[in-house]
Structure 1
Amino acid sequence: MSSLYYLNKFLFKYKRYLLLGILFIFISNVFGVMMPGVVKDTINDLVSSDLTNGDVSLGAILKIALMSAGLYVFYSVLKGIFLFYTRQTIIKMSRYIEYDLKNEVYDQYQKLSFNFYKKNATGDLMNRISEDVSKVRMYLGPGIMYTINLVIMSGLIIFVMLRVSPILTLYVLAPLPVMSVLIYFVSFKLNKKSNLVQSEQSKLSTFVQENFSGIRVIKSYIREKESIKNFNTQAVNYKEASLSLAKTSALFMPTIVFLIGLSNIITIYLGILQAREGLINAGEIAQFVIFINMLTWPFASVGWVTSLIQRAAASQARINEFLKETPEIINPSTEKVTFAKEIVFKNVGLVYENSGVRALTDVNFQIKKGETIGVIGKTGSGKSSLAYLLLRLLDPTEGSIKIDGKNLNELNIDSWRDLIGYVPQEHFLFSDSIRNNITFGLKASDIPDEMVFNAAKSAGIHESILEFPAQYETKLGERGINLSGGQKQRISIARALIKQPEFVIFDDCLSAVDNETEELILNAIQNQLKNSTSFIISHRISSIKYADRILVLDEGKIVESGKHDDLLTLNGAYASIYAKQKLSEEINTL
């Protein structure tokens, strides 16, 4: 329950809705408790009229019935009106809190650092902001509403019942606590089996999603039969879990009905005995029967509400775990950042926290304003790690990175990143139009078409876009699934170029294009970004051979540095890479 204390600030924020809801519940139950009193008075009036002697006219009986029915309907309507207002306050409050909590979680996700996303699965992040928040809302809405209703209704009803007959009240209420305990255990089992059903459903959905996403691989390796067999296994597990849940659910209503019937039998039997002794009358027996039935659902809801609270507490604990996570990268300043001279890496080292792998060791180099720096090396040599450090997605474990003499970790992150155009190695496109994907990094809402077209032309994708029926308004599928790898990369490049950035970082972003397209893009980049500073990471020498300086990385260290021709003269690691790539090109042309 301690995890739910976090929600108290929201309850205080929306206390007006909560207090009004409590007031409306009280008023609604007052009218609800008055309704059985109408039945009691009607029965007593009819009994006292001695209908058996025929002394009372049909008109008199009809008058009593109509007056009683009218009063009963009047109380019922008033009860319904205030019940409506109850839901319009407490349930509305729960929706407002759900909205605030989801926004708070999402805002926290935006603040958390790169390492956080390397440690946590996307599915888990989604569950906490959707399923877990929904379970918390059920506690804040129905959970609180039914709990308050139980307390107020049972208090009012028991008060009236005790005034009529304390002994009869004691006997007729005896089965209700037993019902609450039994329903609690049934609800506990239902909760466990419901979670199992959700788990199996999640596994089934994940299996189907993965198989549909990888349908080309399945067909290529002729694995359709195995896929169907595995699907059947997952489907059977889901079916068995669902059937088990249905069997347990079947115990719920019979348990309630049995205990309601038991309470009614006790009420009628003991009521008749007390009526013989003149301690109670016929109308009060009927009133007791109605009260017992009115108390049935509030007491039955104890187990259900307890289950809601248990699930909400577990879900809020999971949410709190992420909300309490402290971002490793924080923005220390609000001042605008300028880049006029140089970027200096001094004795920089980097160890990844989640894996303990050392990515960089004692890295020293400079990037002067307007320079083009190329970075090459084997897979895992630390090339992308340099890009992460420049973007300040990560902070170095050792050493420092300075921008015009100021430590990068002291600068305004947002302002610094605003100067950068970044094309990641793993290109990502949103499920939106091509135009919106290209203009994603721009803050202006009204962007001229010519600006978009020029960026696409520079990235070598303009002509391909015009071939689509909707051209720049073409809607992309998830992660741009309806585009080829090369098209995705070129749209990512256009997204960076349209910003006209002062500093551009290409992280092996030309790997999916042919040499001719690569040359076209590099020439366009040189023309469009001739005044910008470029940092080009690649495993192909053709992408970096025109750079002002080339850094050769090996196992996180800079082993060579210089221009293309100078590095070839050294006849070292760079020359070896060049020779292998040249030989590969010659073989491909045969």
Structure 2
Amino acid sequence: MRALSATNKYLFRYKWHFLGGVLFVALSTLLAIFPAQIVRYAFDLVGEGIDLYHLYAGTRAQSQVYELFGRNVLLYGILILLMALLRGIFLFFMRQTLIVMSRHVENDQKNEIYQHYQSLPLSFYRRHSTGDLMSRISEDVGRVRMYIGPALMYFMQLVILFVLIVPLMFMVNVKLTLYTLLPLPILSVSIFYVNNLIEKKSDEIQRSLAGMTTFVQEAFSGIRVIKSFVREEDSRQQFAVASEEYKQKSLSLNFVNSLFFPLILFLIGLSTIITVWIGGQEVIRGTITTGSIAEFLIYVNLLTWPVTALGWTSSLVQRAEASQARINEFMHQQTDIVSRRNLELELKGDIVFDHVSFTYPDTGIQALRDVSFRIRHGQTLAVIGNTGSGKSTVAALLSRLYDVTEGSIRVDDEDVRDLSLKTLRGQIGYVPQDVFLFSDSIRNNINFGLDQPDEARMQQAAKDANVYENILRFPEGFDTKLGERGITLSGGQKQRVSIARALVKEPKILILDDALSAVDTNTENAILNAFQRIMHNRTSLIISHRVSSVKLADEILVLDDGQIVQHGTHEVLMQDQNGLYRALYERQLQSEEA
């Protein structure tokens, strides 16, 4: 229960739901007990009424006995029906308080986890898979809800029933009470183990289903690869194997489920038989009446479900504890990307990297070594180098997706660690190397960074990214819905929509991280020509492995293994016959000619 103590704050938050639920549980339980006592009186009345009826046979009093007997039985019947109606009302309100409370808690917990996820740094997402994150915000939260809702509700019901019913049973007959309650602990323990077995097999089915779903998702996402390599039959066979495994696990669960209700009915029936057998002997001895047997049978039926639920709720609590522990593990992780002074100011874009070194915290790979450079307001700096030279790391550090290991990065003479994250990132237009588009319309993808979408700005951004004409050729234009990760578009179109998404913000600092790698030379030249106007009076950082993309920059940095090996304009760098920049230029020129 230590892990589940993290949920206590929700119980305090919804204390009126909880207290109301306790009240309605108590009232509904009382209204279940009273009819049992009325039934006992009714049974005894029937026995006494029959004896009196025969005793006054042939007299005028016989009809009066019959009339009195009828009125009392009718009264008892009306009372039982009235109590049943009231109990139904209280049971309705019981669920409307406790179960509704659990849904509120589920909603709050999901929102808190999602908000916390968004605050965590990129290193967290590099360590954990998407499936694991999804599992904790969906399945784990769902299991915790079952503890806060049904488990607490049925446990309270069981406690109140035992506190009220067992003393009443002992008051009537101790021996009959002990024999009647004997099968119930066996029932509870049996349900606990059977339910654990059911849950275990359900988990296996869920894992099998998740694996099959992932396989299908990958197959459909990569359908072009499957078709081009003619692997349809192989893919079908792999799916058939996964589907067969899922079927076998489902059949195994169905077998265990088939044992569940017969086991309950057997133990309930055993308790009923014991009650009638031992109760009959006590009636013969004259220690109790037949009405007491009827009362005990009602008590047994009242206790059966809560006792059965005890095994079920115990399993729910176990699973909720494990799930909450997994949730706590993530919730206790805090981001180290926090603002020291939380400065909010209008940026101009004067950027300084001062002896910056950086090592990725999750892999231990040193990406940058003592890197220093400056980009003045309105200038364009290009960073070029081979794969793995640390180019993208420069963009990630400037956007403060990571913090530097050594040195500092300053914007307008302020350390980025002192700036508000919203201020810094809100004034940076970032086109990442790995283009990601949402499964939404093109319009909403381009306007993603704007609080108030502007149609004119959106269309101008699309024109500047040289994707406007392509979008208009779609039947629905800007309202065209994109598939998962933008699969509707070609690679070049996705990159250009991503560029338009950065440009529509009209950022003070523009970062293009290999943003033109998927476009042809003509499109690249058209975008670069548009960029000459866009980059005017705006600080820009162009990261690329293609020399053709960086020729328009005011200065060019050449990185190799995380270090600056060359620094200057295109003309100056080309004069160095043995330099890396010239080697890259000649290699790419030969590749284009070939």
Q: Could you state the TM-score of these two structures normalised by the residue count of structure 1?
A: 0.97
**Which of the numbers 146, 151, 166 marks the counterpart of 2:154?**
146
CA distance in 1, matches of 2:256, 2:300: 26
Deviation by residue 1:440-472 (Cα, 9 ceiling, x = unmatched): 11122xx33222111110000111111111111
Equivalent of residue 541 in structure 2, options 512, 535, 538 = 535
Partner residue of 2:564?
558
Determine the structure 2 residue equivalent to 1:322. Answer: 330
Verify the 8 A CA contact 2:348 2:508 in the aligned structure 1.
no
2:504 to 498, 502, 505: 498
How far residue 96 of structure 1 moved from its aligned partner, in angstroms, is: 1.0
Q: Deviations over 1:106-141 (max 9, x none)?
A: 110111011111111111111111111011101100
1:73 aligns with 2:73: no
Contact 2:428/2:507 (CA < 8 Å) preserved in 1? yes
- Report the AA paired with residue 18 of structure 1: F
In the alignment, structure 1 residue 583 sits paired with structure 2 residue 590: yes
Partner SS, residue 207 of structure 1: helix
Further displaced range: 547-556 or 404-413: 404-413
Match of 2:33 in 1: 33
Structure 1 position 249 matched with structure 2 position 257: yes
In structure 1, stretches of 5+ residues that fail to align are none
C-alpha contact 2:465 2:527 (8 A) present in aligned 1: yes
Give 2:449's match in structure 1, choosing from 412, 434, 441.
441
In the alignment, the residues of structure 2 paired with residue 91 and residue 464 of structure 1 have an alpha-carbon distance, to the nearest angstrom, of: 52
Q: Partner of 2:269 in structure 1?
A: 261
1:183-582 matches, cutoff 5 A = 183-340=191-348, 342-444=350-452, 447-571=453-577, 572-582=579-589
C-alpha distance in 1, partners of 2:162/2:373? 76
Matched-pair identity in %? 49
Residue type of the partner of 1:188?
A: N
CA 304–467 in structure 1, closer or farther in 2 if over 3 Å, else same: same
Partners of 1:110 and 1:8 in 2: CA distance: 24
Task: State yes or no: 1:2 paired with 2:9.
Answer: no
**Structure 1 residue identity aligned to 2:526:** L
The 2-side partners of 1:33 and 1:14 are apart by 29
Counterpart contact for 2:180–2:300, Cα < 8 Å: yes
What SS does the aligned partner of 1:49 have? helix
- Deviation, 1:321, is 0.7
Q: Distance in 1 between matches of 2:244 and 2:557?
A: 56
TM superposition outliers: structure 1 runs of 4+ over 4 Å: 54-62
Q: Distance in 2 between matches of 1:185 and 1:454?
A: 66
Distance in 2 of aligned mates of 1:45 and 1:501: 89
Cα distance in 2, alignment partners of residues 441 and 148 from structure 1:
50
The alpha carbon displacement at 1:333 in A equals 3.2
**Which range moves more in the overlay, 388-397 or 68-77?**
68-77
Amino acid at match of 1:130: S
Residue number in structure 2 paired with 1:13: 13
Q: Alpha-carbon deviations, 1:293-319, whole Å to 9, x = none?
A: 111110011111011111111111111
Alignment of 1:155-194 (within 5 A): 155-194=163-202
Contact 1:339–1:369, Cα closer than 8 Å, also in 2:
no
8 Å contact kept, 2:343–2:418: no
> Which residue identity is paired with 2:19?
L
| Superposition deviation, residue 339 in structure 1 | 3.2
Aligned-pair CA distance for 1:340 = 3.7
Query: 1:169-219 deviations in whole A, cap 9, x for unaligned?
Result: 111111111111111111121121111111111111111111111111111
Corresponding residue number in structure 2 for 1:123: 131
Q: State whether residues 500 and 529 of structure 1, in contact with CA within 8 Å, keep that contact through their aligned partners in structure 2.
A: no
1: CA distance between counterparts of 2:403 and 2:535? 28
Alignment partner of 2:373: what SS?
Answer: strand
- Check conservation: 1:422, 1:506, Cα contact below 8 A: yes
| Residue identity opposite 2:380 in structure 1 | T
Deviations 1:55-92 (A, max 9, x none): 45565554444322211110001111111111111111
| SS of equivalent to 1:551 | strand
Deviation at 1:226, TM superposition (A): 1.3
Distance in 1 (alpha carbons) for counterparts of 2:337 and 2:242: 42
CA distance in 2, matches of 1:426, 1:69: 74
Tell me if the contact between 2:349 and 2:539 (Cα under 8 Å) persists in the aligned partners: no
Distance 1:352 1:182 in 2: 52
Q: Matches of 2:458 and 2:191 in 1, distance apart?
A: 63
- What letter matches 1:405 in structure 2? D
Between 1:253-262 and 1:133-142, the stretch displaced more is: 253-262
8 Å Cα contact 2:378/2:535 also seen in 1: no
Aligned partners of 1:328, 1:4: CA distance in 2, in Å?
27
- Select 1:98's aligned residue among 102, 106, 128: 106
Per the TM alignment, residue 367 of structure 1 is displaced from its structure 2 partner at its CA by: 1.0
Q: For 1:400, what is the secondary structure of its paired residue?
A: strand
Instruction: Indicate the RMSD between aligned Cα atoms, in angstroms.
Output: 1.4
Q: Quote the offset at 1:398 in angstroms.
A: 1.4
Secondary structure of the corresponding residue to residue 500 of structure 2 = helix
- Matches of 1:353 and 1:336, distance apart in 2: 28
- In structure 2, how many angstroms separate the alpha carbons of the residues matched to 1:178 and 1:369? 79
